[in-house]
Amino acid sequence: MITLYLVRHGRAAAGWDADPDPGLDHTGEAQARALAQAVGALGPLELAVSPMRRTRETAAPLARQWAAEPRIEPRISEIASPTDDLEARGRWLREIAGREWAELDDGLRRWRDDVLAALLEAEEDTVFVTHFIAINAAVGLAVGNDRVVHCRPDYCSVTVLKSRGDGLELMQLGAQADTRVL
Protein backbone atom coordinates (compact mmCIF):
# COMPACT_ATOMS: atom_id res chain seq x y z
CA MET A 1 0.00 0.00 0.00
CA ILE A 2 1.06 3.56 -0.65
CA THR A 3 1.40 6.00 2.23
CA LEU A 4 -0.11 9.46 1.80
CA TYR A 5 0.88 12.30 4.11
CA LEU A 6 -1.76 15.04 3.98
CA VAL A 7 -0.43 18.30 5.35
CA ARG A 8 -2.63 21.27 6.02
CA HIS A 9 -0.85 24.46 4.99
CA GLY A 10 0.70 26.73 7.62
CA ARG A 11 -1.17 29.64 9.15
CA ALA A 12 -2.07 32.12 6.45
CA ALA A 13 -1.65 35.88 6.65
CA ALA A 14 -5.42 36.28 6.17
CA GLY A 15 -8.54 34.16 6.59
CA TRP A 16 -10.58 32.53 3.85
CA ASP A 17 -13.10 35.35 4.16
CA ALA A 18 -10.47 38.11 3.92
CA ASP A 19 -8.09 37.23 1.04
CA PRO A 20 -8.58 34.84 -1.89
CA ASP A 21 -4.95 33.64 -1.91
CA PRO A 22 -2.86 34.77 1.06
CA GLY A 23 0.66 33.64 1.75
CA LEU A 24 1.84 32.55 5.17
CA ASP A 25 2.20 34.87 8.13
CA HIS A 26 5.33 34.71 10.36
CA THR A 27 3.82 31.93 12.48
CA GLY A 28 2.95 29.97 9.31
CA GLU A 29 6.51 30.33 8.05
CA ALA A 30 7.83 28.95 11.36
CA GLN A 31 5.30 26.10 11.14
CA ALA A 32 6.54 25.27 7.62
CA ARG A 33 10.15 25.13 8.82
CA ALA A 34 9.14 22.89 11.74
CA LEU A 35 7.22 20.65 9.32
CA ALA A 36 10.35 20.22 7.21
CA GLN A 37 12.29 19.21 10.32
CA ALA A 38 9.58 16.73 11.39
CA VAL A 39 8.87 15.18 7.98
CA GLY A 40 12.25 15.58 6.30
CA ALA A 41 13.61 12.23 7.44
CA LEU A 42 10.80 10.45 5.55
CA GLY A 43 12.16 11.48 2.19
CA PRO A 44 12.78 12.57 -0.28
CA LEU A 45 9.26 11.66 -1.29
CA GLU A 46 6.97 12.82 -4.06
CA LEU A 47 5.74 16.29 -3.04
CA ALA A 48 2.44 17.63 -4.40
CA VAL A 49 0.93 21.00 -3.53
CA SER A 50 -2.24 22.85 -4.36
CA PRO A 51 -1.71 25.90 -6.58
CA MET A 52 -2.56 28.21 -3.68
CA ARG A 53 0.23 30.42 -2.37
CA ARG A 54 0.01 29.22 1.25
CA THR A 55 0.49 25.56 0.26
CA ARG A 56 3.45 26.36 -1.98
CA GLU A 57 5.05 28.43 0.80
CA THR A 58 4.39 25.64 3.33
CA ALA A 59 6.11 23.08 1.10
CA ALA A 60 9.10 25.31 0.27
CA PRO A 61 11.35 24.38 3.25
CA LEU A 62 10.70 20.68 2.70
CA ALA A 63 11.34 21.03 -1.04
CA ARG A 64 14.65 22.77 -0.33
CA GLN A 65 15.63 20.04 2.14
CA TRP A 66 14.84 17.33 -0.38
CA ALA A 67 16.19 19.29 -3.37
CA ALA A 68 12.83 18.60 -5.02
CA GLU A 69 10.44 20.60 -7.11
CA PRO A 70 6.87 20.26 -5.79
CA ARG A 71 4.30 19.13 -8.34
CA ILE A 72 1.35 21.53 -8.58
CA GLU A 73 -1.84 19.46 -8.28
CA PRO A 74 -4.93 21.63 -8.94
CA ARG A 75 -7.31 18.88 -7.78
CA ILE A 76 -6.17 19.25 -4.15
CA SER A 77 -6.80 23.00 -4.08
CA GLU A 78 -9.36 24.91 -2.01
CA ILE A 79 -12.99 23.99 -2.28
CA ALA A 80 -14.58 26.11 -5.01
CA SER A 81 -16.67 28.93 -3.62
CA PRO A 82 -19.85 30.01 -5.42
CA THR A 83 -18.94 33.68 -4.89
CA ASP A 84 -15.94 36.01 -5.11
CA ASP A 85 -17.35 38.18 -2.32
CA LEU A 86 -15.01 37.37 0.56
CA GLU A 87 -17.48 37.99 3.37
CA ALA A 88 -20.11 35.87 1.64
CA ARG A 89 -17.46 33.16 1.08
CA GLY A 90 -16.88 32.89 4.81
CA ARG A 91 -20.60 32.59 5.54
CA TRP A 92 -21.01 29.99 2.79
CA LEU A 93 -18.13 27.87 4.11
CA ARG A 94 -19.47 27.96 7.67
CA GLU A 95 -22.90 26.91 6.34
CA ILE A 96 -21.70 23.90 4.30
CA ALA A 97 -19.28 22.75 7.03
CA GLY A 98 -22.19 21.36 9.05
CA ARG A 99 -23.73 19.45 6.17
CA GLU A 100 -23.18 16.14 4.40
CA TRP A 101 -21.75 15.86 0.89
CA ALA A 102 -24.98 14.20 -0.29
CA GLU A 103 -26.82 17.45 0.52
CA LEU A 104 -24.50 19.60 -1.61
CA ASP A 105 -24.70 20.33 -5.32
CA ASP A 106 -23.10 18.20 -8.02
CA GLY A 107 -20.23 20.66 -8.55
CA LEU A 108 -19.10 20.41 -4.94
CA ARG A 109 -19.39 16.64 -4.95
CA ARG A 110 -17.29 16.58 -8.16
CA TRP A 111 -14.68 18.74 -6.38
CA ARG A 112 -14.56 16.19 -3.53
CA ASP A 113 -14.32 13.32 -6.03
CA ASP A 114 -11.44 15.09 -7.81
CA VAL A 115 -9.56 15.50 -4.52
CA LEU A 116 -10.01 11.80 -3.79
CA ALA A 117 -8.99 10.80 -7.33
CA ALA A 118 -5.77 12.83 -7.05
CA LEU A 119 -4.91 11.02 -3.82
CA LEU A 120 -5.87 7.56 -5.06
CA GLU A 121 -3.78 8.00 -8.23
CA ALA A 122 -0.54 8.36 -6.23
CA GLU A 123 1.86 5.66 -7.37
CA GLU A 124 4.38 6.16 -4.58
CA ASP A 125 4.49 7.51 -1.05
CA THR A 126 3.59 11.18 -1.36
CA VAL A 127 3.32 14.31 0.76
CA PHE A 128 0.29 16.39 -0.29
CA VAL A 129 0.21 19.97 1.03
CA THR A 130 -3.44 20.89 0.86
CA HIS A 131 -6.40 22.43 2.68
CA PHE A 132 -8.80 21.86 5.58
CA ILE A 133 -11.82 20.67 3.56
CA ALA A 134 -9.70 18.51 1.22
CA ILE A 135 -8.23 16.69 4.23
CA ASN A 136 -11.74 16.24 5.61
CA ALA A 137 -12.86 14.73 2.30
CA ALA A 138 -10.02 12.20 2.40
CA VAL A 139 -10.55 11.28 6.05
CA GLY A 140 -14.28 11.01 5.38
CA LEU A 141 -13.67 8.42 2.66
CA ALA A 142 -11.28 6.51 4.91
CA VAL A 143 -13.69 6.30 7.85
CA GLY A 144 -16.98 6.14 5.92
CA ASN A 145 -18.23 9.54 7.09
CA ASP A 146 -20.19 11.73 4.63
CA ARG A 147 -20.04 14.95 6.69
CA VAL A 148 -18.15 17.80 5.06
CA VAL A 149 -16.29 18.54 8.32
CA HIS A 150 -15.70 15.87 10.94
CA CYS A 151 -12.11 16.64 11.90
CA ARG A 152 -10.24 19.92 12.36
CA PRO A 153 -6.67 19.54 11.08
CA ASP A 154 -4.38 22.12 12.63
CA TYR A 155 -1.94 24.20 10.60
CA CYS A 156 0.91 22.02 9.32
CA SER A 157 -0.62 18.92 10.87
CA VAL A 158 0.16 15.65 9.12
CA THR A 159 -2.66 13.16 8.56
CA VAL A 160 -1.40 9.75 7.42
CA LEU A 161 -3.48 7.55 5.12
CA LYS A 162 -2.80 4.35 3.23
CA SER A 163 -4.09 4.05 -0.31
CA ARG A 164 -5.47 0.73 -1.46
CA GLY A 165 -6.01 2.09 -4.97
CA ASP A 166 -9.79 1.98 -4.59
CA GLY A 167 -10.02 3.45 -1.09
CA LEU A 168 -8.18 4.99 1.81
CA GLU A 169 -7.37 3.75 5.29
CA LEU A 170 -6.74 6.23 8.11
CA MET A 171 -3.48 5.45 9.88
CA GLN A 172 -3.08 8.62 11.96
CA LEU A 173 -5.16 11.74 12.27
CA GLY A 174 -3.01 14.86 12.36
CA ALA A 175 -3.08 17.34 15.25
CA GLN A 176 -6.49 18.95 15.67
CA ALA A 177 -7.30 22.57 16.50
CA ASP A 178 -9.86 25.29 15.95
CA THR A 179 -9.70 27.19 12.70
CA ARG A 180 -10.35 30.90 12.18
CA VAL A 181 -12.97 30.44 9.44
CA LEU A 182 -15.08 27.76 11.09
Residue 182 lies in a domain: no
Q: 122 falls in which pLDDT band (50, 70, 90)?
A: very high
Residues in a beta bridge with 71: 48
What pLDDT is attached to residue 153? 97
CATH of the domain at 65: 3.40.50.1240
Residue 37 lies in a domain: yes
Helix 132-143 crosses helix 106-120 at what angle (to 10 degrees)? 80
Structural contact between residues 132 and 57, judged by C-beta atoms closer than 8 angstroms: no
Residue 167 lies in a domain: yes
Segments forming the whole domain that contains residue 33: 2-126+133-172
Residue 179 lies in a domain: no
What pLDDT is attached to residue 90? 85
Residues 141-160: tens digit of each pLDDT: 999 999 999 899 999 999 99
Residues 49-94: tens digit of each pLDDT: 999 999 999 999 999 999 999 999 999 999 989 988 888 888 999 9
Q: Which amino acid is present at 44?
A: P
Q: 168 falls in which pLDDT band (50, 70, 90)?
A: very high
Residue 180 lies in a domain: no
Residue 87 lies in a domain: yes
Where b means 16+ CB within 10 Å and e means fewer, 50-60 reads bebbbbbbbbb
Residue 26 lies in a domain: yes
The number of domains in the chain is 1
Greatest distance between any 2 Cα atoms in the chain: 43
Q: Which amino acid is present at 153?
A: P
Predicted model pTM: 0.95
